[in-house]
Amino acid sequence: MLPHRARRKMDIVVSFAMICFGIVVLIAASQMPWAPRSASGAVQWYLSPGLYPATLGFFLVVFSSFVLWNAVREVGIGDIGTMFRGWMRNLPTNHPVHRVVIAMLLVGLYIFVGIGLAEFWIVSAVFLFVFIALFWFPEPGMKLAHRVPISLAISVLIPLAVAFVFETYFYVPMP
Amino acid sequence: MFQSFLSQIIELATPLNLGVLVGSTFIGIVFGVLPGLTATLAVALLSTLTFGLNVELALMAIIAVYVGAIYAPSHSSILLGIPGSAAGAATAIDGYPLAKKGLGGQAIATSTIASVIGTIFGLLALVAVSPLLVSLALNVTSVEFFLIALFGVLICGSLTSPDLPIKGWIAGVIGLLIAAIGIEPILGYQRFTFGNPALAGGIEIVPVILGGFALPQIFRVLRNEHLKESVVTRIGNLMPNWRALWQAKFGVLRSGFLGVGIGAIPGVGEDIAAWASYDVARKFDRDPDSFGTGNINGVINPETANNAAIGGSIIPVLTLGVPGSPAAAVLLGALNIHGIRPGPMLPHEFPNFIPQVAAMLFWSSLSILVLGLAMARLSVQVLRLPSSVLMPIVAFLAVVGSYSLGLNMFNIYMMFLFGVGVYLMEELGYPVTPVVIGLILGSMADVSLRRGLLAANGSLEPFYTRPIALILIALIVISLSFQSKFIRKVLSGFAKDKAA
For the stretch B436-468, pLDDT in tens is 888 888 888 898 888 888 888 888 888 888 888
Backbone angles phi, psi at A118, to 5 degrees: -150, -170
Residues A32, A55 share a domain: yes
Residues A11 and A83 in one domain: yes
Mapped onto helix, strand or coil, the DSSP state of residue B149 is: helix
* Ramachandran angles phi, psi of B23, nearest 5°: -60, -45
Write the pLDDT tens digit of every residue in A49-63.
999 999 999 999 999
Assigned domain for A164 exists: yes
Q: Which residue has the higher pLDDT, A41 or B119?
A: B119
Sorting pLDDT into bands at 50, 70 and 90, what band is A112? very high
Task: Spell out the alpha helix ranges (H) of B248-323.
Answer: 249-264, 270-284, 297-320
Q: What distance in Å separates the CA atoms of residue A164 and residue A153, rounded to the nearest whole number?
A: 16
Same domain, A135 and A164: yes
Q: What is the pLDDT of residue B53?
A: 80
Helix (H) or strand (E) holding B2: helix B2-11
Query: Which domain covers residue A98, as residue numbers?
Result: 94-169
CB-closest option in A14, A104, A173 to B219? A104
A113 and A66, same domain (yes or no):
no
What pLDDT score was predicted for residue B304? Answer: 92
CA of A103: which chain B residue's CA is closest?
B219
> Residue A143 is inside which H or E element, if any?
none
Tell me which range, B37-46, B85-94, B161-170, is most confidently predicted by mean pLDDT: B161-170
Instruction: Among A57, A91, A125, give the residue marking a domain's end.
Output: A91
Asked whether residue A109 falls in the same domain as residue A64, the answer is: no
Distances (CA, A) of B5 to A82, A87, B131, B194, B307: 64, 59, 13, 49, 19
Residues A76 and A104 grouped into a single domain: no
Q: Which residues of B touch A7 (CB under 8 A)?
A: 163, 428-429
Cβ contact B330:B31 at 8 Å? no
pLDDT digits (tens, 9 = 90+) for B335-392: 888 888 888 888 888 888 889 999 999 999 999 999 988 887 787 777 777 888 888 9
Chain A residues in contact with B412 by the CB 8 A cut-off are 111, 115, 175
* Nearest-angstrom CA–CA distance, A3 and A120: 41
The answer to whether A61 touches A23, Cβ cutoff 8 Å, is: yes
Whether the CB-CB separation of B362 and B123 falls below 8 Å is answered with yes
- State whether A162 and A101 are in the same domain: yes
A159 in B contact zone (CB under 8 Å): yes
Distance between alpha carbon A164 and the CA centroid of its chain, in Å?
A: 30
Count CB atoms within 10 A of the CB of residue A77: 13
The C-alpha torsion from A43 through A49 and A50 to A54, rounded to 10°, is 120
Final residue before a domain boundary, out of A91, A107, A123: A91
pLDDT at B229 over 60: no
Q: Determine the residue of chain A that is closest to B176 in CA distance.
A: A56
Q: How far is CA B258 from CA A58, B102, B209, B263, in A?
A: 36, 31, 27, 8
Nearest chain B residue to A6, by CA: B428
Q: Which residue of B has its CA nearest to A166?
A: B49
Single out the residue of A151, A148, A173, A153 nearest to residue A162, CA to CA: A173
The shortest C-alpha distance from B51 to chain A (Å) reads 7
Distance CA A16, CA A72 (A): 11
Residue type, B151: F
What is the distance in angstroms between the Cα of B376 and the nearest Cα belonging to chain A?
24
Which of B396, B402, B443, B450 to mutate against chain A (most A CBs within 10 Å)?
B396
Spatial CA neighbour of A10 closest among A107, A77, A91, A97: A77
Phi then psi for residue B338, to 5 deg, are: -85, 10
Chain A residues in contact with B200 (beta carbon < 8 A): none
Residue-wise pLDDT for B67-118, tens only, equals 998 888 888 888 877 666 666 778 888 888 888 888 888 899 999 999 999 9
Whole-number mean pLDDT of chain B? 84
Calpha distance B144→B476 (Å, rounded): 12
Residue A17 shares a structural domain with residue A72:
yes
Residues of A in contact with B218 (CB under 8 A): 103, 107
Whether B499 has a pLDDT exceeding 70, the answer reads no
More confident position, B330 or B227: B330
Whether the CB-CB separation of B257 and B145 falls below 8 Å is answered with no
Are residue A29 and residue A83 in the same domain, yes or no?
yes
Split at pLDDT 50, 70, 90, the class of B326 is confident
Contact B187 A33 (CB under 8 A): yes
B184 interface with A at CB cutoff 8 Å? yes
Query: Per DSSP, what are the bridge partners of residue A37?
Result: A43
Q: Do A44 and B458 touch (CB under 8 A)?
A: yes
Chain B, nearest residue to A52 by Cα:
B446
Of residues B33 and A1, more confidence is placed in: B33
Contacts of residue B301, Cβ cutoff 8 Å, sequence gap at least 6: B114, B248, B251, B252, B254, B255, B277, B278, B280, B281
The model's confidence at residue B268, banded by pLDDT at 50, 70 and 90, is low
Mean pLDDT of A34-55: 82
What secondary structure letter does DSSP report for A43?
B
pLDDT for A135 beyond 70: yes
CB B171 within 8 A of CB B164: no
Whether A174 sits inside 8 A of B403 (CB atoms) is yes
Are residues A175 and B49, on separate chains, in Cβ contact within 8 Å? no
Residue A168 with chain B: CB contacts under 8 Å: none
Closest CA relative to residue B58, chosen from B306, B340, B316:
B340
The structural domain count of chain A equals: 2
Indicate whether A175 belongs to any domain: no
Number of other CB atoms surrounding residue B291 within 10 Å: 18
Question: Worst-scoring range by mean pLDDT, A20-29, B179-188, B379-388?
Answer: B379-388
Q: What is the pLDDT of residue B318?
A: 86
Q: Provide the pLDDT for residue B493.
A: 65
In a domain, A86, yes or no: yes
Are B208 and B415 in contact by the 8 Å Cβ rule? The answer is yes
Q: Residue B183's beta-bridge partner residues? A: B190
Inter-chain residue contact A99 with B400, CB threshold 8 Å: no
Question: What is B324-361 written as a DSSP string?
Answer: SSHHHHHHHHHHHHTT---STTHHHHSTTHHHHHHHHH
Residues A129 and A150 in one domain: yes
H/E element, B81: none
Query: How many residues are recorded in chain A?
Result: 175
Instruction: Provide the CA B433 distance to its chain's centre, in angstroms.
Output: 10
CA dihedral for A84, A85, A88, A92, sign (positive or negative):
negative
Q: Which residues, in sequence order, are CB contacts of B130 under 8 Å at separation 6+?
A: B1, B315, B318, B319, B347, B354
SS3 content of chain B, % helix, strand, coil (to 5): 75, 0, 25
d(CA B368, CA A76): 53
CB B358 within 8 A of CB B120: no
Residues A47 and A122 in one domain: no
Q: Is residue A10 within 8 angstroms of chain B, CB to CB? A: yes
All residues at 6 or more sequence positions from B494 whose CB lies less than 8 Å from its CB, including other chains: none
A151 vs B429: CB contact, 8 Å cut-off? no
User: Has residue B422 got a pLDDT over 80?
Assistant: yes
